[in-house]
A = this chain, B = another copy of it.
Amino acid sequence: MAGTVYAQTNAEELSATIIALEKAALEKWNQGDPGGYLDLSADDVTYFDPAIEQRMEGLENLRNYYKPATGKISVDRYEMVNPNVTAVNSMAVLTFNLFSYVGNDVHKWNCTEVYRLERGGQWKIVHTHWSIVQPDVK
């Protein structure tokens, strides 16, 4: 029973840790700074978003891809809707819906972030998948 409580506490702590990492990066992004996500991503990160033809590979490519966005993004406020973390010892998948408010518009996103615990004890993103919620598609 003590073991169960301990495991549960660890899971809650891990969820809180991962969500805090993501929010810190996202809040920088919303002010035009991709640096939070770049610092948080592993060298072997893979990346999907709707605007690219095929999966992107590696931190250097992501750095070059994000460069033109620097200073161009300004999100007034956001809601991270219903974040969920499913984890094993050294890997955790964070998923959430994101509502980004820009003026009178709201942009709705699906987001998947896979984090891996690196040797130095730091959690890093090894995979990112952003997509647009578009229920009229089908």
Contact = CB atoms under 8 A, between A and B. Distances in A.
A44 interface: yes
Given A114-B93, A137-B132, A46 B84 contact: yes
Interface string A107-138: 00010101011000000001101011111011
Number of copies: 2
Most buried by B among A46, A117, A126, A133: A133
Given A129-B129, A131-B131, A95 B50 contact: no
B133 A110 contact: no
B52 A135 contact: yes
Given A110-B131, A127-B112, A129-B112, A138 B89 contact: no
A15 B55 CA distance: 17
B110 A55 contact: yes
B51 A138 contact: yes
A51 B97 CA distance: 13
Interface of A: 44, 46, 48, 50-55, 57, 81-82, 84, 86, 88-91, 93, 95-97, 110, 112, 114, 116-117, 126-127, 129, 131-135, 137-138
